[in-house]
Amino acid sequence: MTEALPAGLRHARTLSVLIGVLLIATGMRDLLGIYPRWDPATVTWPAALRADCLLFAILGGVLLLPWPRIMRSERWGWALGILGLLCLVFAMAMISEVMAKNYLAKAAGMRAKPPIFQAVLLFAVMAQPPIAWFLRRPDLLD
């Protein structure tokens, strides 16, 4: 991979870094209790909430790694597998969060807000393994 990356792939990588920073900031914000996404009075499993916050921070940190260099190394398969697994776990966490918020809203006799933030994060994170793959094989973009 000696040729320069296509402009679209460079932009996608820049967005990956921004998503990583957003995930770390969101996870730390929730972990520190600064305007949390969940009302602390309704959280019945604080350990699950802490695990969710740590997942945000870990996945954000993984996205900040130098993926163009990693995908040129001999261990690229392991790195891509770990990224894919983290993205799947994140997707399950986002779906579980939306289901829990809907359940709590229904129990309170209200309607839950549309899960726009979770949907955007879900689609942005699920795009990361293909971006990493195309960093290894940019010739497949044509």
The model's pLDDT over 110-126, given as tens digits with 9 standing for 90+, comes to 988 899 999 999 999 99
Specify whether the CB–CB gap between 139 and 3 falls below 8 A: no
> Is the pLDDT higher at 41 or at 96?
96
* Residue 1 pLDDT exceeds 50: no
Task: Write down the pTM of the prediction.
Answer: 0.87
User: Is 16 buried (19+), middle (13-18) or exposed (0-12) by CB count in 10 A?
Assistant: buried
Q: What is the spatial distance between Cα 30 and Cα 50, in angstroms, rounded to a whole number?
A: 8
Domain of residue 120 covers 7-139
Q: Per the structure, how many domains does the chain have? A: 1
In a domain, 103, yes or no: yes
In a domain, 97, yes or no: yes
- Residue with structure tokens 């799947």? 88
3-state secondary structure of 73: coil
3-state secondary structure of 108: coil
The model's pLDDT over 10-34, given as tens digits with 9 standing for 90+, comes to 999 999 999 999 999 999 998 887 8
Specify whether the CB–CB gap between 67 and 16 falls below 8 A: yes
In a domain, 1, yes or no: no
Instruction: Report the half-sphere exposure of 23 (CA within 13 A, side-chain side).
Output: 28
